[in-house]
Amino acid sequence: MRYFYYRIYQQLKRVKSNDTPAFNALALLVLVQTINIATVLSLIKVFAKIEIGKQQVVIVGLAISFIVLIVQFKTLFGKRDEICKRYENETKEERRRGTVYLLLYIILSVVVFFMIGETLIR
* Residue numbers in the chain where pLDDT is lower than 70: 119-122
The pLDDT of residue 117 is 76
Classify the C-alpha dihedral 76-79-83-84 as positive or negative.
positive
The pLDDT of residue 92 is 93
The pLDDT of residue 55 is 78
The pLDDT of residue 8 is 93
Domain ranges for the chain: 2-121
Beta strands in the chain (DSSP E): none
The pLDDT of residue 120 is 61
The pLDDT of residue 26 is 93
The pLDDT of residue 121 is 56
The span from the first CA to the last CA of the chain, in angstroms, equals 33
Classified as helix, coil or strand, 14 is coil
Interval 39-55: pLDDT, tens: 888 888 778 887 777 77
Classify the C-alpha dihedral 68-71-72-73 as positive or negative.
positive
The pLDDT of residue 58 is 75
- Asked whether 32 and 105 are in contact (CB, 8 A), the reply is yes
Instruction: Give the closest residue to 22 by CA, choosing from 73, 94, 69.
Output: 73
The number of residues in the chain equals 122
